Structure 1
Amino acid sequence: MKHKVNDSVTNIVVNRKAKYNYFVESTLDAGLVLLGWEVKALKLGNVNIVNSYVSFHLGEVYLFGVQFNPLHTTSLHTFHHLKRKIKVLLKKNEIISLHNKIYKNGYTAIVLSFFLKNSWCKIKIAIAKGKTQRDKRDEEKKSMWNLEKSRIMKKVNLV
């Protein structure tokens, strides 16, 4: 008897500035080691991931710069450290390839989104290179031209 696998993925928080500030080369999914109040805050979307990045500390992968805003209903006897480093759960070959890309090739690892997959909190890590101001202007010109082009084609198709 085959079991039905339910791979439901729900995006909770998305870093919208990531694609504006970086050229995304590749992505990978990773698990996290979170505290209970952090999971509750994450499920309600009380997380800021704009300046978050993934780095190595003592041979392990950690997530830095994520700010969890605690709920008012959580217990008062726990200490809420809002910007603590969070351990990222990856396979050994993924850690090695991430380390090689970051330190040898000059890429950076940023967080694209937090999501729930089968009730597990996970992150989507992007291996990316930073954009210069010129790259951002060129991309804006392309998008404006594509928008204008679609307007012209719409007018031509109506006539």
Structure 2
Amino acid sequence: MAKKKKPGSNTIAQNRKARHDFFITDRFEAGVALAGWEVKALRAGRGQLTESYVIFNKNEAWLLGAQISPLPQASTHFVTEPTRTRKLLMHRRELDKLLEATTQKGHTIVATALYWKNHLVKCEVAIAKGKQQHDKRQTEKEKDWNKQKQRIMSADNR
């Protein structure tokens, strides 16, 4: 008899602030080089991406600002650093595209999500361009209008 998967999502953490502050254009999947205590902490849901972004050093991508809080059991055995820089594992072509995008004015690379893919932790990184205040207001108006349309449509279907 086969085991059933647990209901729920495989998402560990999302960066909702990035979707509010930036126009997201291209998305890429990257592996993350983690220590053992970090994987255990992520299984317990202790990851956060709110202020995270990607930098390049010697043609390698590094994730900055992602916080993984250690479990109390792991913090007694290891020197834990919750906000250390973590290496992103990507193909050379993807790294070249990201590096090219960062040279354009106003573009940056942000981490939008951490999730499980089988037994591995993956990070979704995206090329983003900053929104100005009037763009943020326009996005809020569109979101409110879409909610209102859904309410009207559901009221008509009753």
TM-score interval, smaller chain = 0.7 to 0.9
Q: Distance in 1 between matches of 2:51 and 2:106?
A: 18
Identical positions, percent = 39
- Unpaired segments of 5 or more residues in structure 2? 1-8
> Pairwise mapping of residues 88-127 of structure 1 onto structure 2 (< 5 A)?
88-127=88-127
Q: Which residue of 2 aligns with 1:37?
A: 37
RMSD across aligned positions (CA): 1.7
Equivalenced residues, count: 150
Deviant stretches of 4+, over 6 Å: none
Displacement of 1:145 in angstroms is: 2.1
Amino acid at match of 2:120: W
Residues 1:21 and 2:21 aligned together: yes
TM-score by length of 1: 0.86
TM-score by length of 2: 0.87
> Pairwise mapping of residues 135-150 of structure 1 onto structure 2 (< 5 A)?
135-150=135-150
- Unpaired segments of 5 or more residues in structure 1? 1-8
Q: Distance in 2 between matches of 1:15 and 1:43?
A: 18
Q: Is the contact made by 2:59 and 2:95 (CA closer than 8 Å) also made in structure 1?
A: no
Amino acid at match of 1:14: Q
Q: Distance in 2 between matches of 1:46 and 1:154?
A: 38
Amino acid at match of 2:47: V
Distance verdict in 2 for CA 1:133–1:106, change over 3 Å: closer
Residues 1:131 and 2:120 aligned together: no
Q: Distance in 2 between matches of 1:157 and 1:11?
A: 33
Larger Rg, first or second structure (1 or 2): 1
Q: Which residue of 1 aligns with 2:70?
A: 70
Amino acid at match of 2:118: N
